[in-house]
Amino acid sequence: MQTRKLGSELEVSALGLGCMGMSFAYGGQEEQASFDTFRRALDLGITFFDTAEIYGPFENEKLVGRALRSVRDKVVIATKFGFRFDDKGAITGTDSRPEHVREVAEASLKRLGIEVIDLLYQHRVDPDVPIEETVGAMADLVGEGKVRALGLSEAGASTIRRAHAVHPIAAVQSEYSLVTRDPESEVLPTCRELGIGFVPFSPLARGLLSGAIRSKDELPEGDARRNYPRFSDANIQSNLALVDRIAEIAKAKNCTAAQIALAWVLHQGDFIVPIPGARKLKNLEDNARAADIRLTPEEVASLSEAVPPSEVAGERYGAAALSMVNK
C-alpha cells in the first residue's frame, strides 16, 4: 500500500485502521478476532492504527497495545485524550488542563505498553482551557520524548491556526465522508495551507455508505448507531437512496459502494489518510482495495454531485455530541 505524510513527522499507510469498534460503541468482539484483524491489516500494508482513552473507556488502548507491541517498530499508533470520567466510566465533561494532559499521556503509555505515543490528539477542544495552554503541555511531552507528533480532533479552523502557532500540528481528525462534508469549507483548506495531515474518521458514515444496513432494527441492542439521527426510522431510507446512487456509479468501476466512497475520500488530497473501522476480515480487505481504485476528476465530481449535502437526512450526532464539536 502507498504511504502518505501527516505533517513533517509521520509517514503512514494511505489507509489506516480505526480500532474503536473492536471494544466500544458497536458491540465489540472476541479478542482473538481483533488480533486476527490486526494481523491481516499488517499483511495488507496498513501501518496506522487509531485508538483513544474514551474507547471502553481505556480497554481499547490495552487491546491495541497487546496486539501491536510485538511489531512496534513497524506501526504508527495514535491515541486521544480530552475527557473527564466518573467512577463508572461515564463522560462528565472535557478536561484539557495542562496537568491533566500529562496524567493522561502517562496513563495511555502504560495501557499501550509503549515508550512513545506516535500521534497524540486532543479528542475534543476544551472550551474552558485556552488551546495554547493545552498544546503547550502537549509540546512539553514531545520535548521529553514521550510523544512524537501532535493532533487535534473536531477542531475548527481558527483553533487549528492558534494551536499550530504554538507547536506544529501533524494531523487534524474529523468526520468526513460523502455524506459529511463539513470540513470542506474551512478545515481542509487550512490543513492544506499549513501542511497539516487530515485524518477522516467514519469515512463510510459508520457503515451507512456500505448499504448493508437497511434498517435501524438490524443493529444489535447496545449499538450506538441506534441513537444516531441518520440511522433513525425517519431518515435511513432517504439516506439509503443516496447510497444506492453511489452503488450505481461503483458498478462502472467494478467495485462496491463502500470502496468507491473510500476512494472518493482518498482523492480529496494526498495529505488525507482515512481510518475506516473494521471488525470483520472481509470488510477490512474490501476497504484496503479502495486504496488501489483510481478515479478521474470527472468521476470524483460525479460522486460529489450524487450526494448533495442538502439531501442528507439527519445530523451525524445527537445534540449533546454535536455541542462538543469546535467551530
Alpha-carbon gap, residue 109 to 85, rounded angstroms = 18
Report how many helices (DSSP H) and strands (DSSP E) the chain contains, helices first.
Answer: 11, 11
284 and 41 Cβ atoms separated by less than 8 Å: yes
Among 26, 55, 121, 176, the active-site one is 55
Chain-centroid distance of CA 176 in Å reads 9
Alpha-carbon gap, residue 186 to 183, rounded angstroms = 6
Cell of 44: 495488507
Q: Is 176 a catalytic residue?
A: no
> Can you give the chain as a three-state secondary structure string?
CCEEEECCCEEEECCCEECHHHCCCCCCCCHHHHHHHHHHHHHCCCCEEECCCCCCCCHHHHHHHHHHHHHHHHCEEEEEECEEECCCCCEEEECCCHHHHHHHHHHHHHHHCCCCEEEEEECCCCCCCCHHHHHHHHHHHHHCCCEEEEEEECCCHHHHHHHHHHCCEEEEEEECECCECHHHCCHHHHHHHHCCEEEEECCCHHHHHHCCCCCHHHCCCCCHHHHCHHHCCCCHHHHHHHHHHHHHHHHHCCCCHHHHHHHHHHCCCCCECCCCECCCHHHHHHHHHHHHCCCCHHHHHHHHHHCCHHHCCCCCCCHHHHCCCCC
Instruction: Catalogue the active-site residues.
Output: 55
